[in-house]
């Protein structure tokens, strides 16, 4: 993997720039490349961490990997023939992003360990306050920008459950996205809280490394076969010698992903077929009927994120991972109390409890032209036009924010469309505003498309919907092709000569 020190990053910060990008994960890098494609070079990328990579820099827990096929989980402008497996490990994805930064010469635009501490619209531009994260107490440095692209991600701030006694636990407690590499895994009694994507990857790996693992399951997940495998040397050599072969594979994976939309969105026939596959997978790997019943979801397929694993069920079935089929409700010294009444001792608690996804932390820092913060504007859940523009926030582009996630295909595809959309509007040179009525209409359109789907009516609690309003605010309720076409119509409306003052 390319070490962060291999990237030559400037330390100075310009006082004025055309565009500020916040975040150096997939979305921020996609935004930078899209600006370049429009001939724009006057931009800076702020990254509060010490390195690029976003999610793939932060998540280093044992077993971390992507659940989207590697050849689809990459930027279309930078296909790679070198992925080692069907589903890439986290370290490979981070190295891939670092390689793009280096190969494209984006280092000169990067400012690492530099956080946005605030942003305010003033008359005709954004005043972005920045602070060095490695110098606590340093005075904020302002950057004046015409445009602001928020590419801060939706899975950045861990969600910590409010469990009585958790703060007084005598052992180590940390979120899976803040993995403590100092802990000794072998022989440790480790309690993992949650059964989402991170927990399903993490728990079998902890057991494999010799930990005594107890998994607290509030709600079981729908889990499909993963069918991961290592790519052969011959396959990788073929891809290196024939870029068209990589493109064909990516196209095939894209089509497969789009086809999954039907089962996730509630099509009765497709959902039933997918559900049968998941139940057969469970039955094949968990022969004990009582254990199998505890692992069987009671909500609609697609209501929560559908997971992929060939190792999770066997780890539970053979006893390598102890399943506690109820939530953690109390911590009493080193004893963990489950909702079902069972008590489990632990030396380490790992919180695989998700993120502050519905209420984005960066929204509290951004103030628009009417004096409201983005968080205040989103008091009843995130709203937008084209999942990217927000009323009252001129020249602001939010990537990977409201209704820009996917439950069936690669979210990188959505980010690229948003980045291209933003760069095209920035290249137009005009001040981009959307009115309240247009935002309300788009919000109503999302609600109408979401009505009756498993995401809002599937009988589960998920991170796709905002708990304050019950609206679908994270997920895009359509295919990637739908999103591309919808964004194109928004762009055309904004750039319509008849509508430009």
Could you say which DSSP state residue 371 is in? S
| Residue of 199, 230, 223 whose CA lies nearest to 213 | 199
Per the structure block, which two tokens stand in for 124?
């005709």
Q: Beta-strand (E) ranges in 183-320?
A: 189-193, 212-216, 223-224, 307-308
Indicate the pairing of strand 110-111 with strand 43-46: parallel
pLDDT at 20 over 90: yes
| Number of domains present in the structure of the chain | 2
pLDDT at 1 over 50: no
Specify whether 178 is located in the same domain as 310.
Answer: yes
Specify whether 278 is located in the same domain as 217.
Answer: yes
pLDDT for 199-258, tens place per residue?
A: 999 999 999 999 999 999 999 999 999 999 999 999 999 999 999 999 999 999 999 999
Specify whether 84 is located in the same domain as 107.
Answer: yes
What pLDDT score was predicted for residue 499?
A: 53
Judge whether 40 lies within some domain.
Answer: yes
Residues 198, 354: Cα–Cα separation, whole Å: 8
DSSP collapsed to 3 states, 3-62 = CHHHCCCCCCCCCEEEEEEECCCHHHHHHHHHHHHCCCCCEEEECCCCCCCCHHHHCCCC
What pLDDT score was predicted for residue 8?
A: 67
Domain boundary among 323, 351, 379: 351
Specify whether 33 is located in the same domain as 171.
Answer: no
The average pLDDT across 284-295 equals 98
Residue 390 in contact with residue 214, Cβ under 8 Å? no
Judge whether 10 lies within some domain.
Answer: no
The average pLDDT across 405-426 equals 98
pLDDT at 4 over 50: no
Residue 75 in contact with residue 52, Cβ under 8 Å? no
What pLDDT score was predicted for residue 7?
A: 63
Domain boundary among 351, 375, 392: 351
Question: How confident is the prediction for the chain on average, in pLDDT?
Answer: 95
Judge whether 284 lies within some domain.
Answer: yes
What pLDDT score was predicted for residue 498?
A: 56
Specify whether 375 is located in the same domain as 494.
Answer: yes
pLDDT for 445-460, tens place per residue?
A: 999 999 999 999 999 9
The average pLDDT across 29-45 equals 98
pLDDT at 417 over 50: yes
The average pLDDT across 432-449 equals 97
What pLDDT score was predicted for residue 501?
A: 44
Indicate the pairing of strand 343-345 with strand 335-338: antiparallel
Judge whether 450 lies within some domain.
Answer: yes
**pLDDT band at 371, cuts 50/70/90?**
very high
Specify whether 186 is located in the same domain as 303.
Answer: yes
What pLDDT score was predicted for residue 6?
A: 58
pLDDT for 47-95, tens place per residue?
A: 999 999 999 999 999 999 999 999 999 999 999 999 999 999 999 999 9
The domain that holds 295 is classified in CATH as 3.50.50.60
Judge whether 304 lies within some domain.
Answer: yes
Judge whether 68 lies within some domain.
Answer: yes
| Residue of 52, 316, 391, 328 whose CA lies nearest to 165 | 328
pLDDT at 298 over 90: yes
Per the structure block, which two tokens stand in for 468?
């304050």
**pLDDT band at 5, cuts 50/70/90?**
very low
Residues 103, 261: Cα–Cα separation, whole Å: 35
The radius of gyration of the chain from alpha carbons, rounded to an integer in Å, stands at: 23
Judge whether 254 lies within some domain.
Answer: no
Residue 220 in contact with residue 295, Cβ under 8 Å? yes
**pLDDT band at 44, cuts 50/70/90?**
very high
What pLDDT score was predicted for residue 3?
A: 39
Per the structure block, which two tokens stand in for 501?
């003052």
Task: Residue 209: give the domain boundaries.
Answer: 166-222+267-351
- Tell me the C-alpha to C-alpha distance, in Å, between residue 194 and each of 160, 314, 345, 361, 450: 11, 18, 17, 22, 26
Judge whether 322 lies within some domain.
Answer: yes
pLDDT for 334-358, tens place per residue?
A: 999 999 999 999 999 999 999 999 8
What pLDDT score was predicted for residue 497?
A: 66
**Tokens 């628009």 sit on residue:** 368
Specify whether 310 is located in the same domain as 405.
Answer: no
Domain boundary among 351, 382, 403: 351
Among 142-156, 283-297, 485-499, name the one with the lowest average pLDDT: 485-499
Residues 322, 431: Cα–Cα separation, whole Å: 57
Specify whether 26 is located in the same domain as 173.
Answer: no
DSSP collapsed to 3 states, 91-120 = HHHHHHHHHHHHHCCHHHHEECCEEEEEEE
């Amino acid at each position: 993997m390319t070490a962060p020190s291999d990237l030559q990053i400037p330390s100075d910060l310009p006082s004025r720039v055309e565009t500020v990008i916040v975040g150096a994960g997939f979305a921020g890098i996609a935004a930078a490349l899209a600006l370049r494609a429009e001939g724009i070079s006057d931009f800076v990328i702020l990254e509060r961490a010490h390195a690029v990579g976003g999610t793939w820099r932060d998540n280093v827990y044992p077993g971390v990997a992507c659940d989207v096929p590697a050849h689809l989980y990459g930027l279309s402008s930078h296909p790679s023939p070198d992925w080692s497996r069907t589903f890439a490990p986290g370290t490979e994805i981070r190295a891939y992003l670092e390689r793009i930064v280096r190969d494209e010469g984006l280092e000169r635009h990067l400012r690492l360990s530099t956080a946005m501490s605030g942003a305010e619209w003033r008359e005709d531009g954004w005043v972005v306050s920045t602070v060095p994260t490695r110098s606590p107490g340093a005075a904020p440095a302002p950057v004046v920008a015409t445009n602001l692209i928020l590419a801060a991600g939706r899975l950045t701030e861990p969600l910590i459950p409010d469990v009585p006694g958790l703060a007084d636990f005598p052992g180590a407690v940390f979120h899976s996205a803040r993995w403590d590499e100092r802990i000794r895994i072998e022989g440790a009694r480790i309690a993992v809280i949650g059964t989402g994507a991170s927990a399903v990857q993490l728990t079998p790996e902890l057991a494999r490394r010799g930990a005594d693992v107890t998994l607290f399951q509030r709600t079981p997940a729908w889990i499909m076969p993963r069918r991961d495998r290592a790519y052969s040397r011959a396959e990788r050599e073929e891809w290196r010698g024939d870029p068209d072969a990589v493109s064909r594979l990516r196209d095939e994976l894209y089509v497969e992903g789009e086809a999954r939309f039907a089962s996730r969105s509630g099509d009765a026939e497709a959902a039933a077929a997918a559900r049968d596959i998941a139940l057969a997978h469970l039955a094949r790997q968990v022969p004990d009927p009582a254990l199998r019943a505890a692992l069987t979801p009671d909500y609609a397929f697609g209501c929560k994120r559908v997971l992929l694993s060939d190792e999770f069920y066997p780890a539970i079935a053979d006893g390598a991972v102890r399943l506690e089929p109820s939530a953690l409700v109390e911590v009493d010294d080193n004893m963990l109390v489950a909702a079902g009444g069972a008590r489990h001792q632990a030396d380490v608690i790992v919180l695989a409890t998700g993120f502050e996804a519905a209420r984005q932390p960066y929204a509290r820092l951004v103030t628009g032209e009417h004096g409201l913060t983005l968080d205040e504007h989103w008091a009843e859940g995130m709203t937008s036009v084209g999942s990217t523009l927000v009323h009252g926030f001129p020249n602001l582009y939010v990537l990977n924010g409201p209704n820009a996630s996917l439950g069936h295909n690669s979210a990188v595809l959505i980010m690229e469309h948003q980045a291209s959309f933003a760069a095209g509007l920035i290249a137009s040179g005009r001040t981009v505003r959307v009115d309240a009525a247009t935002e309300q209409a788009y919000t109503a359109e999302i609600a109408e498309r979401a009505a009756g789907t498993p995401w809002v009516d599937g009988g589960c609690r998920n991170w796709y919907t905002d708990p304050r309003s019950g609206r679908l605010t994270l997920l895009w309720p359509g295919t990637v092709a739908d999103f591309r076409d919808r964004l194109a119509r928004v762009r055309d409306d904004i750039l319509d000569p008849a509508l430009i003052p």
